[in-house]
Amino acid sequence: MAAPEQGAGTASSWPRFANLAEYRSALTDQQEVFKARWLWGQHLEAACAGTGSYPGYCGVCGRATEFSFTAGSGGPVNLREEMACSQCALNARIRVVLHLLSRNAPPGNTARIYLTEQTTLLYKFVRAHWPNVTGSEYFGEDMRPRLVQYLKHLVGQREALRHQDVTALTFSDESLDVIVSCDVLEHVPDYRAALAEFARVLVRGGRLLLTVPFMEQSADTTVRARLRDDGSIEHLEEPEYHGDPVDPNGVLAFYNFGWDLLEEVRKAGFRDARWCLPWAPAEGLFLGLWALEARR
């Protein structure tokens, strides 16, 4: 794997939008570009409806590679969770996050980084370049043995499995430089409390990187389910469960976020909150890779 700074240049060129109006204006001003990208995505989804690979350049490895895809049950390829590099094995979503992390972390490798995951390839790669990373999982005690095994397999040595509740972090105030949270907030009923905790533990100028299911055409977040006072779950939409590497039942999504998530991030104490729209076809990065960046 190349120096982590490598991807920062790629990520700097991606467009960023502070609100839906800015995005709509870009769609209008660059109508032909967005149309071409959409058609490219449609074509790829159709062309990749099977198992195969797509030649390109991996910005994480810093060399030519093949991006593999395995469309499930004949459906269209998932351009976000597939397109895994044959060398580093990272899928498109994780490569985007690493590019954005390289751009947002302070120079050098001393950044204090917190990832809301610890038993994943993303954690393994971040740990290899930024030794001051802390990862954690959110789990019940019945899951602990399996997670400990995952972690040992992943990092090849004994490392303590950490448990954190993102709505009540154990970190001190202003003790971290970057927080990366991928596809977690939609599962947190009180996600605003999590945003407030992220703001509390980041230093001034610290960075927040988020990925969540994002409805790019919607101003408002859809609340899919909510917790009643007695702790039971009230479903307001058809229950949607996301794949979880350790829980075969998956995990319930409480939200599909809209542009209003930016406002919630600002209310929690962040500045310069923007949705970033990655696009780098040579790197196997196509549609649906939205990520949110903000500064404490």
Q: Which of 48, 60, 202, 292 binds Zn ion (CB under 5 A)?
A: 60
Report, in Å, the least distance between residue 85 CB and Zn ion.
Answer: 3
Q: Which stretch binds Zn ion (CB under 5 A): 52-60, 177-185, 189-197, 281-289?
A: 52-60
| Torsion angle in degrees (nearest 10) through CA of 146, 148, 152, 155 | 110
Would you state the structure tokens that stand for residue 261, as one six-digit string? 């998530």
Tell me which of 48, 58, 84, 292 binds Zn ion, using CB under 5 A.
58
**E strand segments, the chain:** 16-17, 51-58, 63-70, 84-85, 113-115, 133-135, 176-182, 202-211, 222-223, 225-227, 233-235, 241-242, 251-252, 255-256, 271-276, 291-295
By CB under 5 A, is residue 88 in contact with Zn ion? yes
The answer to the question of residue 61 lying near Zn ion (CB under 5 A) is: yes
- 6 touches Zn ion (CB under 5 A): no
In the bound complex, what is the minimum distance in angstroms from residue 285's beta carbon to Zn ion? 12
- Beta carbon nearer to Zn ion, 90 or 113: 90
Least CB distance to Zn ion at residue 88 (A): 3
DSSP of 146-158: HHHHHHHHHHSS-
Q: Which of 53, 87, 218, 222 binds Zn ion (CB under 5 A)?
A: 87
Least Å distance, CB 151 to Zn ion, is 22
Q: Which residues bind Zn ion (CB under 5 A)?
A: 58, 60-61, 85, 87-88
